[in-house]
Structure 1
Amino acid sequence: LVVGSDISRCPNTPWPTCRGYLHKRTHSGFVKGWRKRWFVLKHDGCLHYYRHKKDEGKCSPLEVIKLEGAEVGIDSSLGKPFVFNCVPQSGNRTFCLCATSNQEMKRWLEAMDKAIHPVRQNHVWEDVTLHNSNLPPLAIKNPECLGLLHQLDRNTDMWVQHYCILKDGCLYFYASIRSTQASGGLYLQGYRVNEQILSFKQSVIELKPPSEEFKTFYFCAENNTENQRWITALKASIKKWLPLHQAIQDFMNRPLEETRM
């Protein structure tokens, strides 16, 4: 499944995210020394870096470093403070990085250490969705909505058609109604559903993520009536999944007689 939400990977213990400027030591090119780069540690445990902060989300990263299994530690051999090294498990390259303060260095080391040693948990709901993704579309029981949707590919500005099934906050994609299994899908917990008008004045369904770590998706049905049907169904399906703090608050706000065991 294509991940839309963090719950698909590790619902109870999300991997940390961390972002900020670090100086990266370089030995290539005409300029040797330290270059300031914008680093982003994402939920998937990969460290991305860009030339500038403004490039995040707009440009491809200069490099992506998978941290799981890597070695990270402070390097005092250069006589420069706040320097630490990262040696990925794959490859023999060492990334030498420098923070702006001891506090910043500790923040990065702690976040990277959690990405290096991820805690994985099995989740019964994930097993159910993976099971559903291996079924033909009409074999999924009690779908909340089904039909054709066109998804906007932001890289090509082209619309790609899917036959879609919505079930329990997960949107499954099929090449056609006759497909034997899903070609992909989105976990939509925490997403907000809005109706938007794009530049060509077409009404579309916008799925806005709970965090900037995830993508915004745009869909369009065959007509406005179908759009509204999907919007209503998506909102209802996502609403079933409450953040834990909200569920606790809702429980505490209920009348006393309803909360007694």
Structure 2
Amino acid sequence: MCVEGTNVLHVPHVEVVKLAQQCNGDLKLDLISVSRLNNPPDTLCSQTILRDYIWIHKLWNESNTWQKRWLELSSNGNIQIYKTHEKLVPCGCIVLRGGSAIGQSPSSNDAMTILQIDVENGGSVELGFQKQNSFVSWSQALQEISNNRLEDQDDWIQMVQEKFQLSYLDHEISDCCGPAGCLAGGLWQTRNLLLQDGCLYVYQDKDQPAICVLFLHGYKASSASCGSRKYVFQVYSSSDQDGKSYFFAAESEPEKKRWLAALEFSLEKWIRID
């Protein structure tokens, strides 16, 4: 895919937006069409087994609102979320893990049967069905996938483990990256951070593997204050049962705003139930 003659296939989202904003007239997009392989391996693509318009509700969303979205359930346990069935790019994704509790919510009513997906740490999402047969099909399929994944290796976790072994310089794409202060054990330490798909990789040396990775799915980001330290922001759990918070300090106010915008984009897009 090219924007104004520039290949943006592996360009960070922020840079693509800047490139589009520089265009004064009509925006020129160059696209290529791709066709499915005759017998694609599971590592390349998965089969969509269910799709429908479904109401969705994030229990950690403070607005407490329901949204009607086009959902597509794939055989690998991912639920792609689209605003409408005509959209080509998903606006979010629910990644189902093995062992997730799936059952009918007590808040179901005459207008809608609600399927709740939750686990022990309090992360939950509700799906609302206006047709009983659709509720039955989705609940059975989700439960079967969850049970099967208890015995299978989690491909998503394996992918994160592989990225964990990469050096800071070896990552081709990211939602945001750069140096920042990290508060650990009461001390501020400068580290190189790289954000990708709701995971924050922390590096001490740019040419070495990450020293840790933070799974921030279900977390929120906001500005914060911490003593005399400037440009502080925090990432905190949105679950009342988990009080974990991580504090970081950017090098400037624009850098702080850049990190907060990237965190909001990355964390809102990916809904991970684990």
TM-score, normalization: structure 1? 0.45
- Name the TM-score, length of structure 2 as normaliser: 0.43
**Larger CA Rg, structure 1 vs 2:** 1
